[in-house]
Amino acid sequence: MSLDIIQTQITFLESVIPDLQAVILKLSTNPRATYSVNTGQSSESVTGKDVNRLRALLNGFISDLQYYSDLAEGEGDPSYSRPDF
């Protein structure tokens, strides 16, 4: 996997995670509200009943960010990481 692709994923995830955290916080304080979440791949309206699903999505994004960050630093899966010269 090229470093450009890895960096693109990191940039995307770093932009989406704070937005998703903000939506979860808003829904936690006002569960009757409706917000639109755009992950870059899809857009949907969410309400307080979606908080657990959003938390699972957030955890997945955080895990993905850690994975791609490890790859960028040469610490990920050796079949994907670049040589450490």
Q: Which long-range contacts (CB under 8 A, 24 or more apart) does 62-70 make?
A: 62/17, 64/9, 64/13, 65/10, 65/13, 65/14, 65/17, 68/6, 68/9, 68/10, 68/13, 69/10
Q: What is the pTM of this model?
A: 0.77
Q: Over the stretch 11-53, which tens digit does the pLDDT of each residue have?
A: 999 999 999 999 999 999 988 888 887 777 788 899 999 999 9
